[in-house]
């Protein structure tokens, strides 16, 4: 996987992620357009790996917005899917939409799922509550913390981010009380939808936020055990590059450089994420 010529960005994925890319170089009915450094791409990538969906990995530089990407995603954002089984090929974009599509596809092919059984509507609804918190609250808090430049703002946004993690843990605890648990919060549980959704930011909190903001993950035993299980899960681990290149790639966010990304611009202007 390669990215643009910007010297701030490593030219390709490394470690397990590069190995996974090389395993998915052949043509396929599904082509995943992504960038190795993008957490929104990684959540889709994790889902595809866990669900056992066949795909071709196609790295694109979203800063250059190549024509083939814009044809799939009008904002030129990754991830995007090209579905070659249709004539002409069709497309999907937005990470959660793609995750839901892969989930539905797996239900009739690989028979794997990121959700509790379809017969347990309430448990599935609790997973949706977890996912909603991740999208609406946790992910924006991550970027506010990383992009803040003033020391007091960093302190305030650091606390805000920790609060979002603690609330996520409380949602996991609720699911454990009411339905016996969902995802990997329960020891012995399998990877779940919320795990895949939030995992890329947990991973970047451990390397990028630790490096640039001195962040420390909450140290309660159950939370720490969940983080360890999540980051070591094969479907997650195989999509990760080595820590050093994330630190390099996220320097522009930590410095809050102008026009770092549409996500960064939205955070700076107080708008919803694109």
Encode pLDDT of 44-85 as tens digits.
Answer: 999 999 999 999 999 988 788 888 898 998 888 999 999 999
Amino acid 8: pLDDT: 64
* Domain boundaries defined on the chain: 15-108, 121-269
- Cα dihedral sign, 20-227-109-40: negative
Q: Is the pLDDT of residue 1 over 60?
A: no
Q: Residue 160: is its pLDDT beyond 80?
A: yes
Share of the chain above pLDDT 90, in %: 85
CB 34 within 8 A of CB 79: yes
15-108 sits in which CATH class? alpha beta
What's the mean pLDDT when you consider all of the chain? 94
Q: For residue 228, what pLDDT band results from cuts at 50, 70 and 90?
A: very high
Planar angle of CA 93, 10, 150, nearest 5 degrees: 85
Region 214-218: what's the mean pLDDT?
96
Q: Does 92 have pLDDT greater than 80?
A: yes
Q: Note the pLDDT of residue 2.
A: 34
Residue 211 to residue 250: CA distance in whole angstroms = 10
Burial class (CB in 10 A: 0-12, 13-18, 19+), 148: buried
Q: Domain 121-269 belongs to what architecture? A: Up-down Bundle (1.20)
What is the mean pLDDT of the segment spanning 106-110?
97
Task: Give me the percent of the chain exceeding a pLDDT of 70.
Answer: 96
CA distance 106 to 84: 17
- Quote the pTM value: 0.94
> Which of 222, 218, 226, 224 shows the shortest CA–CA distance to 189?
226
């Amino acid at each position: 996987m390669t990215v643009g010529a910007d010297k701030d960005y490593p030219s390709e994925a490394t470690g397990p992620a590069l190995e996974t890319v090389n395993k998915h170089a052949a043509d396929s009915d599904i082509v995943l357009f992504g960038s190795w450094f993008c957490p929104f791409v990684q959540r889709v990538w994790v889902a595809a790996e866990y669900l056992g969906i066949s795909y071709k990995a196609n790295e694109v530089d979203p800063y250059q917005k190549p024509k083939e990407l814009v044809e799939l995603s009008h904002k030129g954002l990754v991830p995007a899917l090209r579905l070659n089984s249709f004539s002409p090929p069709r497309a999907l974009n937005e990470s959660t939409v793609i995750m839901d599509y892969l989930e539905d596809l797996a239900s009739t092919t690989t028979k794997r799922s990121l959700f509790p059984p379809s017969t347990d509507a309430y448990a599935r609804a609790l997973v949706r509550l977890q996912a909603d918190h991740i999208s609406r609250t946790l992910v924006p808090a991550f970027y506010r913390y990383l992009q803040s430049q003033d020391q007091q703002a960093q302190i305030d946004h650091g606390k805000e981010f920790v609060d979002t993690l603690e609330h996520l843990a409380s949602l996991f605890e609720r699911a454990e009380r009411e339905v016996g648990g969902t995802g990997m919060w329960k020891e012995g549980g399998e990877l779940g939808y919320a795990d895949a959704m939030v995992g890329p930011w947990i991973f970047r909190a451990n390397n990028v936020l630790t490096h640039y903001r001195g962040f420390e993950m909450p140290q309660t035993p159950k939370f720490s055990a969940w983080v360890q299980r999540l980051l070591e899960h094969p479907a997650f681990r195989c999509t990760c590059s080595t820590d050093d290149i994330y630190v390099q790639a996220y320097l522009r966010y930590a410095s809050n450089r102008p026009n770092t990304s549409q996500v960064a611009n939205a955070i700076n202007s107080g708008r919803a994420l694109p």
